[in-house]
Amino acid sequence: MKNLLIIPLLLLFLITGCGNSDDENNAPLEAQTLTDVSYGTDAQQKIDIFLPYDRSINTKVIVLLHGGSWVGGDKSDVASLVPVLKIQFPDHAIVNMNYRLATETSPAYPKQIDDIKSVLEHLKSNNYQISSNYAFIGFSAGAHLSLLYAYAYDTEHNVKAICDVVGPADFTDPNYTSHPLYPSASQVLVGSSSPTQEQIETINPVNHITTQSPPTISFYGGQDPLVPATQGPRLKAALDNANVYNEYNLYANGGHGDWDEATYADVYSKMTLFLKNRF
């Protein structure tokens, strides 16, 4: 009789024990903040990673790219956007990246595009428990890099949406080619103040737009002293011609992203709605 009682008790213990183990294995992952994570050997190749609570391999990722004319800037410049995104997208991971800055002897292209590739490869190869579905938010030079990478180099179409804030999009724009800063911009980008047609086409986002390009929202200033206001309409026309969903916003009195609080509130409101609908 005692043996008959012991067997059910052992079975109950085993079942209960297995249940506890499963509960532990299935416990939601805690939120994590990882700062200055290296994704390469250069000191500038650092990222901040913000991982949400209860993430999984389906967790989408928002990638931030700062501006600075390809020669300056830092991820700290856009760090204030992280808490805003956390509120609006609590289930998304956020990655704020630095990239190697251009110098007199080392132009921006191709190394800054290579850095985006390296960041995404790092995210894929490490066990962060996130997906390979990305949205880019880029500012100025970072917006140019976002557009160029997504349109020309994202062969697997993992970039699902782009938010472009005053990004150069078409270097063949007459208002750009006649701009006094155009020679220095091309020198920084490709190492030549008089780039060849092939070089221009290579770094020119609109040249790489296809029907498979990701949805894009853009924001430009009508009084921008650095990036001509005509860049927005030219980007929109190229996307429209390829039947790619896009939204174009012009702030007629705005400069190069140095906008007032009301304007930025409008930018982030439209950006949030765009990402919720398209990402």
Evaluate whether 274 touches 247 at the Cβ level (below 8 Å).
yes
Alpha-carbon distance values, 174 to 101, 178, 183 (Å): 27, 6, 13
Radius of gyration of the chain (CA): 23
Kindly list the domain boundaries of the chain, sorted by start residue: 31-278
Q: Which of 16-20, 93-97, 242-246, 275-279 has the lowest mean pLDDT?
A: 16-20
pLDDT band at residue 24 using 50, 70 and 90 as cut-offs: low
pLDDT in tens, 50-60: 999 999 999 99
**Smallest Cα–Cα separation from 144: which of 118, 163, 123, 121?**
163
- Start-to-end C-alpha separation, the chain: 64
Is the model's pTM score more than 0.85?
Answer: yes
pLDDT band at residue 26 using 50, 70 and 90 as cut-offs: confident
Question: CATH code for 31-278?
Answer: 3.40.50.1820
Copy the structure tokens of residue 131.
């997906």
pLDDT in tens, 212-244: 999 999 999 999 999 999 999 999 999 999 999
